[in-house]
Amino acid sequence: MLCLSMNTPRSIKAVAMLGVFFALPVFSIVILKGEVAPVNSVQPASTAPYRNTFFDPDSNHPWNQLYGMLFIRPGWDGKLYGLNEMDPLYWDSSRYLLEQPLHQKALSILDKFIQSDAARLIKNPLKRALLQRMLWALFDDWASHSNDFNPDGNMFDSERQELQIRLVKIMKAVALTDEEIKALPDNYRMEAAAKSYATAFDPKNNDQPFLPDTFFSNKDWVSLNNTNYDLLAPVHVQNVSGRSVFHVLISLPTGRNDTLDYLKRLHDFQPHWIYDWSKMDSVSEPFVIKSEPPWANPNLPQVPILTRFALVRMANLINAEGEVTSSPLTESIQIRIILTIRPNQRPGGEQSFDMFTLDQMKLMAGEGGLVAENKGTRTFDMVFAGGRDFLQKRDERNENGEFPRMISCQACHGAPGIFSMNSYIQFFQANRTLQPPDLHEGDDAAWSSEVWKRKQYTWGLLHAYWFGQN
């Protein structure tokens, strides 16, 4: 979730506003699928916790009650949302669980869970990891709010603190050792081995999802590293507050060696930046959303047609020692294939987009759990949504606020070829380097996200609760 505060870089705010205009969505689909009590009419929030069998077949299991209290929410339309969501449905202006009488009910559920030592009831490391990552996301959401979307100034500070203290106690109680975290299932490899999807892109069937089975194998894909700035995918890392690792990969259609050669040509090309607007005449305004120089040189070496880009999101966890630790759990995969590049590097060339998101219930059932999203899938915008809680109030433009998911990819990565790779043109970097980005083979994404997270206020606050209470 992106919180657009007064300190948010203008470039990110500008793209966020474009995202709202183009109806950007990323990362969440919400209709419940028969694992929760059916809804026939508007249900008041006071009826929570909502019955579910997310963690255990017994709907009265304490873990299910906790899940139903914190993560399943009623919408203004009378439907229940949130079951099996990868990211909790909370926005900057969300008052859910903060206002009475629901706040007191949430505290009661949390206290009962803690006092009965319910964390011990489930020993399965995967289920413990999934619960922790969801609680961590909720903690960060409540810790990183701003006044931008609360004009009355009512920030529910004491209510947030009461909830956060209890969340951390449970997160600590379900924490895994480093060895347990390393032993969690590598669900990407499980999904790839299952051969549920084609492993190669079919240009004659763009709608057929494909999931390469060669990520991180040193075959056709090159996993990227960069030495010129801290994060290769800064907006993605920041939007999930460093709780995930984002691996950036590229593959040219002619093979791995040509991909490495192309990266070297990019690095050696000069001048990388253009400071004179008159030299940008061949490029239309949508291609250069930044209004201030420098701009990426439109004569940069271009990628060939059918070049593939991928972004693999993997979960961080907090180990038993209270430290950020990367895990083998893949949360989502986004793949883009360049199909056409228009003359003079103008935007609007065709791309094919594929997205796989984590179905946690399938993962807990022993499957890989990475499910291909339909091109027309509609979902809430959990990245560039600003602060509006679409479950609290009807969205006049689009009913309950859900949008086609793939639009988000096109909106941020719609520039031609290599210029669509924001990691290279430094589109979202707060301080762009004078030297060209030093993209090369390697992968320090896990280390970078851990270092970034440790510098954040949300992490300091969590640590204070983690080590400051029994």
DSSP label of 71: T
Domain boundaries in the chain?
10-175+457-468, 182-383+404-454
Helices 102-115 and 157-173, packing angle to 10 deg: 20
- Alpha helix stretches (DSSP H) within 144-186: 157-173, 178-182
Residue 19 confidence (pLDDT)? 38
Give me the torsion for CA of 193, 196, 199, 205, rounded to 10°.
180
- Residues 31-89: tens digit of each pLDDT: 343 355 443 334 566 788 999 999 999 999 999 999 999 999 998 888 899 999 999 99
Residue 325 confidence (pLDDT)? 96
Give me the DSSP letters along 41-58. Answer: S---GGGPSPPB-SSSS-
Residue 228 confidence (pLDDT)? 64
Cβ neighbours of 447 (radius 10 Å): 11
Residue 247 confidence (pLDDT)? 94
Q: How far apart are CA 132 and CA 317, in angstroms?
A: 7
Those residues of the chain that have pLDDT short of 50 are 1-34, 37-42, 147-149, 284-289
Helices 157-173 and 457-468, packing angle to 10 deg: 60
Return the closest-CA partner of residue 332 out of 447, 240, 437, 452.
Answer: 240
Residues in Cβ contact with 28 at an 8 Å cutoff, skipping those fewer than 6 apart = 85, 86, 87, 89, 379, 380, 382
Residue 138 confidence (pLDDT)? 96
Q: Please, are residues 187 and 363 in contact by the beta-carbon 8 Å criterion?
A: yes
DSSP three-state, residue 9: coil
Residue 91 confidence (pLDDT)? 84
The three-state DSSP-derived secondary structure of 301-317 is: CCCCCCCEEEEEEEEEE
Q: How far apart are CA 96 and CA 86, in angstroms?
A: 18
Return the closest-CA partner of residue 53 out of 75, 34, 78.
Answer: 34
**What are φ and ψ of residue 117, in 5° steps?**
55, 45
Residue 436 confidence (pLDDT)? 66
Give me the DSSP letters along 234-300. Answer: HHHHHHTTTSEEEEEEEE-TT-HHHHHHHHHHHHH-S--EE--GGGGTTS-GGG----SS-EE-TTS
pTM of the model: 0.86
